[in-house]
Amino acid sequence: MSRKVYVAGKLVPAEQATVSVFDHGLLYGDGIFEGIRVYRRRVFLLKEHIDRLYESALAIRLVIPISPDEMTKAVEETVKANDIVDGYVRLVVTRGAGSLGLDIRRTREPQIIIIADTITMYPQAMYDNGMKLVTATTIRNHPGALSPRVKSLNYLNNILARIEGTDAGMEEALMLNHNGEVAECTGDNIFIVKNGVLKTPDSACGILEGITRNAIIRLAREAGITVEECVLTRHDIFVADECFLTGTAAEVIAIVSLDGRQIGAGKPGPITNDLLERFRRLTRSE
Ligand code: PMP
């Protein structure tokens, strides 16, 4: 079956799904996006993703030409048209095509693109044994320049840090903020466990407020675990009992070392494993 992509208001065969070379999403990275999972044909935490998309739009003064309800339906229709059972949705809204120049008044209609596809996860061995991290020298965008809370189409900040991770032979890299505090990884949020308390950087630390992060905070609190959103430094990670990342694609994955320092027992810890199990249960029920 040919893949169908939603573009310019309708579903078209993937080969015909094209956008203009004058689209400001391409020319300037002017746009926003969401990455969403489908589990057992259901689009997971879709409301949360739609809400974050419209908040990103508000922050960059992009008026999405359809309502959140219409967007929700368009995502669901695209998943159905592609017969996706377990997969991934990429929802993109660009400023649209216009003449050259940064003035947003030079663009016409924002462009909405929805791609529903299969997903490639990290290898199972990484979930079994945990993942190693390095700290990137590239810091996360200063919130006063471009807030990391906006899930924008300009991912160069993260890509530059990810190159450093790849050069070190790793699948992810830790990014600090402009104060030298822990922010997040290039495409995932970070948590530690210390003396039974779950800790993660506060959204004021310059992070994307992950949908998976928020789900894990909720699940942990429901399980009676104390959760603190606070400032963390690399030192806090070195001396943590457990550490893990969260993200739509990664779900929950243990981190067993940072910059050559073993974290905790050097293998996925009991709270990490418990939260992964609770999260997987949520993906089956929500
Ligand atoms: N931080 C960044 C920079 C991201 O791009 C992502 C999404 N890949 C995350 C965190 C995790 O967010 P979510 O749980 O919503 O996927």
Please indicate, yes or no, whether residues 9 and 151 belong to a single structural domain of this protein.
no
pLDDT band at 207 (very low <50, low <70, confident <90, very high): very high
Range of the domain at 218: 124-285
CATH number for 265 = 3.20.10.10
Mean pLDDT computed over every residue of the chain: 97
User: Active-site residue numbers?
Assistant: 151
Residue 126 near ligand 1, beta carbon < 6 Å: no
Please indicate, yes or no, whether residues 244 and 196 belong to a single structural domain of this protein.
yes
Q: What is the pLDDT of residues 1-16, one digit of tens each?
A: 689 999 999 999 999 9
Domain count within the chain = 2
Displacement of CA 152 from its chain's centroid (Å):
11
Question: Distance (Å, rounded) from C-alpha 94 to C-alpha 97?
Answer: 8
- Write the residue with the smallest CA distance to atom 4 of ligand 1: 187
Question: Distance (Å, rounded) from C-alpha 223 to C-alpha 271?
Answer: 10
Q: What is the pLDDT of residues 76-123, one digit of tens each?
A: 999 999 999 999 999 999 999 999 999 999 999 999 999 999 998 889
Q: What is the pLDDT of residues 226-247, one digit of tens each?
A: 999 999 999 999 999 999 999 9
Ligand 1 midpoint to CA 192 (Å): 17
Note whether 189 and 247 are within 8 A (CB).
Answer: yes
Please identify, among 82, 97, 117, the residue that sits at the C-terminal boundary of a domain.
117
pTM of the model: 0.97
Angle 56-31-14 from CA coordinates, rounded to 5°: 120
Beta bridge partners of 4: 13
Residue 211 near ligand 1, beta carbon < 6 Å: yes
Please indicate, yes or no, whether residues 52 and 98 belong to a single structural domain of this protein.
yes
Please identify, among 117, 142, 177, the residue that sits at the C-terminal boundary of a domain.
117
